[in-house]
Amino acid sequence: MFPHGKSVYNGGMPTPTDSTAQLIADINRLREERHAVILAHNYQDPEVQDIADYVGDSLELSIKSANLPEPEVIVFCGVDFMAETAKLLAPEKLVLIPDPEAGCPMADMVTPEALRQLKAEHPVAPVVCYVNSSAAVKAECDITCTSANAVQVVNSLQADEVIFVPDQCLGAWVQRHISTRMILWPGFCPTHNLILPDHIRSQRLAHPQAEVMVHPECTAAVIDLADHVVSTGGMVRVARESAAQEFIVATEEGMLHRLRKENPEKGFYHVAPVAMCPNMKKNTLEKILWSLQDLHYAVEVPAEVADRARRAIQRMISVS
């Protein structure tokens, strides 16, 4: 355990008298002593976002990790593939994830072995891989993409057909904008798939002046009801730039905290309580503190995977 003065913590378990204020004070002290930064994804709980040095989408945070000159330690509050991407782009830094069980069911829907089989069936089709995937899957791909740049990335390949993994909803959304034939992997985000067209319709009835922002991981039927189909970064931009004063937000609930914080004069309505990702909620203030205390859980990517996965990410960055 890292020695940290008068902290009430002892081996990682909080005592019943611990308060949130004490937790935050302990985290702040350790962050300084460890020369650490805390990064939080837009879907994290509000208290995790509020204690973070930077809040953003997975790629923004990974690029931030690579470009931060000072910190020796990065605590990445998100799910495992995000922390892996940060490690790929900042290999010399110690990247920690507070809860190693915070995974992504959509990323787990494709394996390197299964993808190699599909590649063998379509030997000339380049492979585009959504960043929501493991490093081992990224290593099998030609280029990665985000929900913000997927159309641009696929177009950059100038191919007749591409294999797109793992999110079939994002892939189908991209297909609407391009003539390249998309061979879609049948993966999906379980959280965004719980959002139904009726959720949008009932929210529109309740808030008739509101504009509807939908994440492209939602189903086509939900996307069809949107005013804006945008990534989480796109939602931040639309909320800031639109003349609308109210928004219905069809993505994971954590996004609402950032939107409300940055636009206190505007109204934001979550599409439905069911759109909550349990994996994103596994990181807590307690786990962040323990992560800083004990320097766990370190993210490692085997070198032979890391080199190929990094190449796919860097290729995306160069075309975006």
Query: What is the binding site for ligand SF4 (CB under 6 A)?
Result: 79, 104-106, 132, 189-191, 252, 277, 279-280
> What dihedral angle (degrees, nearest 10) is formed by the CA atoms of 62, 66, 69, 71?
50
- Short-list 158, 98, 104, CA closest to 126: 158
Nearer to ligand SF4, 31 or 287 (CB): 287
Pull the structure tokens for residue 72: 């020796």
Core vs surface per residue 269-295: b (16+ CB within 10 A) or e: bbbbeebebebbbbbbbbbbbbbbbeb
Question: How far apart are CB 91 and ligand SF4 at their closest, in Å?
Answer: 23
SS3 90: coil
Nearer to ligand SF4, 74 or 169 (CB): 169
CB 186, CB 176: distance < 8 Å = no
SS3 182: strand
Nearer to ligand SF4, 97 or 104 (CB): 104
Question: How far apart are CB 274 and ligand SF4 at their closest, in Å?
Answer: 12
Question: How far apart are CB 253 and ligand SF4 at their closest, in Å?
Answer: 10
Question: How far apart are CB 41 and ligand SF4 at their closest, in Å?
Answer: 8
Question: How far apart are CB 167 and ligand SF4 at their closest, in Å?
Answer: 8
Nearer to ligand SF4, 9 or 188 (CB): 188
Nearer to ligand SF4, 12 or 190 (CB): 190
Question: How far apart are CB 106 and ligand SF4 at their closest, in Å?
Answer: 4
Nearer to ligand SF4, 49 or 132 (CB): 132
Residue 247 phi/psi, 5-degree rounding, is: -140, 140
Question: How far apart are CB 315 and ligand SF4 at their closest, in Å?
Answer: 22
What residue spans of the chain are helical by DSSP H? 20-33, 46-51, 58-67, 80-89, 112-121, 135-138, 150-157, 168-175, 197-206, 220-223, 232-241, 255-262, 285-294, 303-319
CB 284, CB 45: distance < 8 Å = yes
Nearer to ligand SF4, 105 or 197 (CB): 105
Question: How far apart are CB 275 and ligand SF4 at their closest, in Å?
Answer: 9
Nearer to ligand SF4, 64 or 215 (CB): 215
Q: Tell me how far apart the alpha carbons of residues 317 and 28 are, in angstroms, rounded to a whole number.
A: 33
Q: Tell me how far apart the alpha carbons of residues 310 and 314 are, in angstroms, rounded to a whole number.
A: 6
Nearer to ligand SF4, 34 or 257 (CB): 257
CB 89, CB 66: distance < 8 Å = yes
Question: How far apart are CB 115 and ligand SF4 at their closest, in Å?
Answer: 18
Pull the structure tokens for residue 220: 């086509």
Q: Tell me how far apart the alpha carbons of residues 287 and 270 are, in angstroms, rounded to a whole number.
A: 27
Q: Tell me how far apart the alpha carbons of residues 6 and 282 are, in angstroms, rounded to a whole number.
A: 27
